[in-house]
Structures are given as C-alpha cells and as structure tokens.
Amino acid sequence: MSVSEDGLPPLRDVIAAHDLRAKRSLGQNFLLDLNLTRRIARAGAPLEDATILEVGPGPGGLTRALLMEGARKVVAIERDARCLPALAEIQAAYPGRLEIVEDDALGFDYAGLDLPAPSRIVANLPYSVGTPLLIGWLKFEPWPPWFDRMVLMFQREVAERIVAKPGSKDYGRLAVFAGWRCECRLLFGVPARAFTPQPKVDSAVIELIPKAEPSPPCNPGMLEKVTAAAFGQRRKMLRGSLKKLSPEIEPVLEGLGIRPTARAEELEIADFCNLANALER
C-alpha cells in the first residue's frame, strides 16, 4: 500500500478501506487533495502553539494537514460514527495531539471545551450546517470569544454573502452580523472537482478575526431582529419593512440620519447597530 508524506495511507485508500461513502444527509463532501487541505491549514497559521477546533473532519483530510503543518493539538468534533476508526488511525500516528469528540456540532457546548489560548477554529464545514454553526459562534457571549480566528470553508455563494459589502446583491443579515463582530475576508476559492463526491457548486475559504470591541456596541438579539425585518423584505423601503418593529419608525430613521425611503442594502453596519439601539430604547 502506498503512503502519503505523513506516513499514512492516501485518503482515497482510507475511504475505501472503511467504506466511507459521503452522506448527503450530513452535507458531506470529502476533500482528498493534500495540497489543498495543507493550504487551508496554513491559512490558520501560526499553528505551533495553537489548539485547533475542527468540525466535521470526516475521514480526516484536513485533520492530517493541520497536524502535518505543526498544530500543537487538534480537537475534532465528528457526529458520523463511521469516520471514527479512520480518525483513530490519525490519532495513533500523532500521539497526544489529536482529541476526537463524537458529538453533533450544532448542539455542542463549545465554551465547555475550555481550550487553552491561543485557540482557533479551522474547518471544512458540512454544507448542511455551515451557516447555523457560524451564526452560533458569532453570537458567543461574552465577546471577544475563546477563539482568536476562524478559517472556514463554505459553499462559494455563502462565503460571498458573509464577506459582502453594503450596496452589493450579496449584502444581507449574515454580512451585517459577521462584519459587526469580525474582520472578514475571502482567502481563496476551491473548485467543485476537488471534492468526492463532486458537488454542483464551488467552495471558498474565508477568514474571520473577532473584533475586541465591535463598534458601535449594541444588543446582538436586537440587531438580529432589525436585520431580519429589513432584509426579510429587502425590496421594500425601510419605512415599510421596519414598521412591524415600531409604528413610529420614520421619525426614528430620520433622527439617525437614515432616509426612510432607503432600502436595507444601502445601510452600513453601523446604521443597523444605531437602529437596534434606538429601537431598544
């Protein structure tokens, strides 16, 4: 049997040996190209002193790359029991550096992990749960959170929505919340052909660095309500889409220097925060 640079079998052989067919119900698409997984791992550098949280490692392609690139420790959360034997083989090859947690990432208590600093999240997120996972991490309290950075892979269209700027068609609730709490940027694209099975869409890797003090400060719950109302009917003027939050919304908007006839995509992140604060008062 051939071996990879890390002394373990090629990922394709691992998948065949453990009969790991990707499950659509779990949003699984396996990334087999070690050059690509190592590029993602390097985006999370420096790794030597870091504890890395990985969600949805599957057969361990990115897990191996993180360890090869020198991560001090990787904590991998995997709900698919079929993948655990493959991950255990990596664990044996890197004694003391890989912790495997069998659990559902969506309901997991991340604060309870009590990871040492510096800790960061590096993951090829399952398509089916990527957005709700990110929203959960962005809502973490207290802020700044326990992680100093997130390097995450999403479907390309989702990644573009996260890093979108005001005035663009992709700008929406996700961009406002992510941009309020983090510095966000798209790092590089990953073509669909790199995955097994091949999805119908390309992917992209983004970086999110938590801001120590998101500005202006506001209540995250109220910010969610405001953006949900504004972008829920994004073709409407704000005086119409926000009316359900306050029957006197026009004077509130005018008091903040926001045109009642403007639409949601025209507002800066700070405008939404100021709106959240005014409506909460």
For residue 31, say whether it is annotated as part of any ligand binding site: yes
Q: Is 87 helix (H, G, I), strand (E, B) or coil?
A: helix
* Per-residue model confidence (pLDDT) at position 14: 93
Output the CATH code of domain 11-210: 3.40.50.150
For residue 141, say whether it is annotated as part of any ligand binding site: no
- Distance of alpha carbon 231 from alpha carbon 190, whole angstroms: 29
For residue 78, say whether it is annotated as part of any ligand binding site: yes
Is residue 166 within 8 Å of residue 122, measured between CB atoms?
no
127 has pLDDT over 90: no
Q: Is 184 helix (H, G, I), strand (E, B) or coil?
A: strand
128 has pLDDT over 90: no
Average pLDDT for 97-103: 97
* Per-residue model confidence (pLDDT) at position 245: 95
For residue 277, say whether it is annotated as part of any ligand binding site: no
Which position has the token pair 């005086």?
Answer: 239
For residue 56, say whether it is annotated as part of any ligand binding site: yes
Residue spans of the domains in the chain: they are 11-210, 220-280
The amino acid at residue 132 is: P
24 has pLDDT over 80: no
For residue 104, say whether it is annotated as part of any ligand binding site: yes
Is residue 80 within 8 Å of residue 104, measured between CB atoms?
no
Find, among 68, 113, 61, 120, the residue nearest to 94 by Cα: 68
H/E stretch holding 154 reads strand 150-155
CATH architecture type of domain 220-280: Orthogonal Bundle (1.10)
**Beta partners for residue 51, in sequence order:** 73, 119
Report DSSP state, residue 58.
T
Find, among 174, 170, 165, 164, the residue nearest to 136 by Cα: 174
